[in-house]
């Protein structure tokens, strides 16, 4: 982690053309750097004559100090510590959204003594200065990357401290039990009153179990799930993709093998971000290009969290269909009987044929990618398969694999401590497990996070956040 005494600067808005673009600075020299570069609109050749009014936008220009050249027309604001995002002085310069003007402003800030911020350094300072805990800091990036209302709702819940509050309460409970054990070990002669820590251990076990019970659903809302659309050539995979997306994203022709490569698009299904992967038809390749496309299809299926096996309605599965179904392995799957619009009536035998492809537990749904018949039912079935039938109500508190892993370790150690305590194990051995559980929970909120962990987390942020 870098020094907190430096003044850092970065472009904080997305690169490209836009209505506005923001250059942000934080650190002790940020107000003086702004004063050196800013000229009020009423007197563009003179420096700001009066101090910047905190938290007020000031209209003027950013100029080259040596030449007086006007770089951009801007609004500038100074937010003094500690009532800022980083709990240090923060300056924001709102200019036009062109990349050239923003880079010129940033270069001027750097020449006045600021340095370029590292990825995530603004949020890292917010964490190190106590503005946010580590779980809240991670939620900042989740808010930026949210792809659905549900994923945004989950991220905002974490940002406002929902998970942190529950973890803190559980950690406090365990610390109470651990403190008693350590006191009884360190001061045996003081006749510390006997205390039963079983209720505290039970409370912690129940709380950790409750958080973990919904963690997989929360991770899906945050990260989404990949759904691979697989099948033989010309069964309507690309048409199905277009129908689900409600747009003509993939090229569709009557010629088998039109799709030669994987195509990915994100779909919002009842708040779940689903990355649809349209794949090349899996069959015996006729040339090197088709072989490469088929290999990518196999790889996409191996990485998917859901497989949509597309078959033709009214046509029994052949060896190729069975081979493709076998590739799905244990991946949750749905058998999609496409082109029901070409079948006058789909008999029960047609559904049975779909079920006989080897995916015994997979739902079989007749649809028409051309007319839209059955699509609503398919979308709901996809959500059911992804969430394993769990309700899609309140956003879960746990949305990050790192948090799930730490909670799992904490629960394991609490359960070990519980077993040891009930069996009359020595207090120092029970304390070892409780200490490990407390440490695991501290990794979530940052109390026990090392520099490697912090560097890995904030290194995933963009520069300027």
The tokens 């490990």 sit on which residue?
A: 436
Say which CATH superfamily domain 139-214+398-445 falls into.
tRNA modification GTPase MnmE domain 2 (1.20.120.430)
**How would CATH label the architecture of 8-131?**
2-Layer Sandwich (3.30)
Q: What is the CATH number of domain 223-386?
A: 3.40.50.300
The pTM for the full model equals: 0.81
User: What is the separation of C-alpha 138 from the centre of its chain, rounded to a whole number of angstroms?
Assistant: 9
Q: Are strands 272-278 and 263-269 parallel, antiparallel or unpaired?
A: antiparallel
What is the C-alpha radius of gyration for the chain, rounded to an integer number of angstroms? Answer: 29
Give SS3 for 50: coil
Q: Which residues pair with 333 in a beta bridge?
A: 307
H or E segment at 427? helix 427-445
Per-residue pLDDT of the chain (465 residues), as tens digits, is 567 899 999 999 988 888 899 999 999 999 999 999 999 987 655 665 557 889 999 999 999 998 889 999 999 999 999 999 999 999 999 999 889 999 999 999 999 999 999 999 999 999 999 999 999 999 999 998 888 888 899 899 999 999 999 999 999 999 999 998 888 887 766 666 778 899 999 999 999 999 999 898 888 888 888 888 888 888 888 889 888 888 765 444 454 444 444 678 888 888 888 988 887 666 554 455 445 555 766 777 788 889 899 988 878 787 778 878 888 777 888 999 998 888 766 555 455 555 556 666 788 899 998 899 999 999 999 998 888 766 556 778 899 999 999 999 999 999 999 999 999 888 899 999 999 999 999 999 999 888 888 888 888 888 777
Domain ranges in the chain? 8-131, 139-214+398-445, 223-386
H or E segment at 219? helix 215-223
Q: Which long-range contacts (CB under 8 A, 24 or more apart) does 427-434 make?
A: 427/181, 427/184, 427/185, 428/181, 428/185, 430/181, 431/178, 431/181, 431/182, 431/185, 434/174, 434/177, 434/178, 434/181
Q: Evaluate whether 8-131 and 139-214+398-445 have a shared fold.
A: no
Structure tokens at 453: 């962990």
Report d(CA 377, CA 16) in Å as an integer: 40
């Amino acid at each position: 982690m870098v020094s907190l005494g430096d003044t850092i600067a970065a472009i904080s808005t997305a690169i490209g053309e836009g209505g506005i673009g923001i250059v942000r600075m934080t650190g002790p020299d940020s107000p003086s750097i702004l004063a050196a570069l800013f000229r009020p609109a009423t007197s563009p050749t003179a420096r700001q004559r009066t101090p910047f009014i905190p938290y007020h936008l000031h209209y003027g220009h950013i100029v080259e100090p040596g030449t007086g050249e006007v770089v951009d027309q801007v609004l500038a604001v100074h937010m003094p510590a500690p009532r800022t995002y980083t709990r240090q002085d923060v300056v924001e310069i709102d200019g036009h959204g062109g990349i050239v003007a923003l880079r010129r402003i940033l270069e001027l800030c750097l020449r006045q003594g600021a340095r370029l911020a590292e990825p995530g350094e603004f949020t890292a300072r917010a964490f190190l200065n106590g503005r946010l805990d580590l779980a809240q800091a991670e939620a900042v990036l989740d808010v930026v990357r949210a792809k659905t209302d549900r994923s945004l709702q989950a991220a905002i819940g974490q940002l406002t401290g929902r998970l942190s509050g529950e973890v803190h309460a559980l950690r406090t409970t365990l610390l109470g039990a651990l403190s008693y054990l350590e006191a009884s070990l360190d001061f045996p002669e003081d006749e510390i009153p006997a205390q039963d820590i079983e209720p505290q251990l039970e409370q912690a076990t129940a709380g950790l179990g409750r958080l973990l019970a919904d963690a997989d659903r929360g991770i899906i809302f945050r990260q989404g799930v990949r759904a691979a659309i697989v099948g033989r050539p010309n069964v309507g995979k690309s048409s199905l993709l277009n129908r689900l997306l409600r747009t003509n994203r993939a090229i569709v022709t009557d010629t088998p093998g039109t799709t030669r490569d994987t195509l990915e698009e994100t779909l919002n299904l009842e708040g779940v971000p689903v990355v649809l992967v349209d794949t090349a038809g899996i069959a015996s390749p006729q040339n090197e290009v088709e072989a490469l496309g088929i290999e990518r299809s196999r790889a996409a299926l191996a990485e998917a969290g859901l497989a949509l096996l597309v078959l033709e309605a009214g046509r029994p599965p052949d060896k190729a269909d069975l081979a493709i179904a076998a590739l799905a392995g244990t991946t949750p799957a749905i058998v999609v009987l496409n082109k029901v619009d070409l079948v006058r009536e789909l008999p029960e035998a047609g559904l049975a044929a779909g079920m006989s492809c080897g995916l015994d537990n997979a739902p079989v749904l007749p649809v028409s990618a051309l007319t839209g018949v059955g699509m609503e039912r398919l979308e709901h079935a996809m959500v059911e398969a992804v969430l394993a039938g769990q309700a899609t109500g309140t956003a879960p508190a746990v949305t990050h694999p790192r948090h799930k892993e730490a909670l799992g370790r904490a629960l394991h150690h609490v359960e070990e401590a519980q077993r040891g305590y009930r069996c009359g194990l020595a207090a120092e051995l029970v304390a070892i497990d409780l200490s490990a559980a407390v440490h695991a929970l501290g990794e979530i909120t940052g109390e026990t996070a090392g520099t490697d962990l912090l560097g890995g987390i904030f290194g995933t942020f963009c520069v300027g956040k």
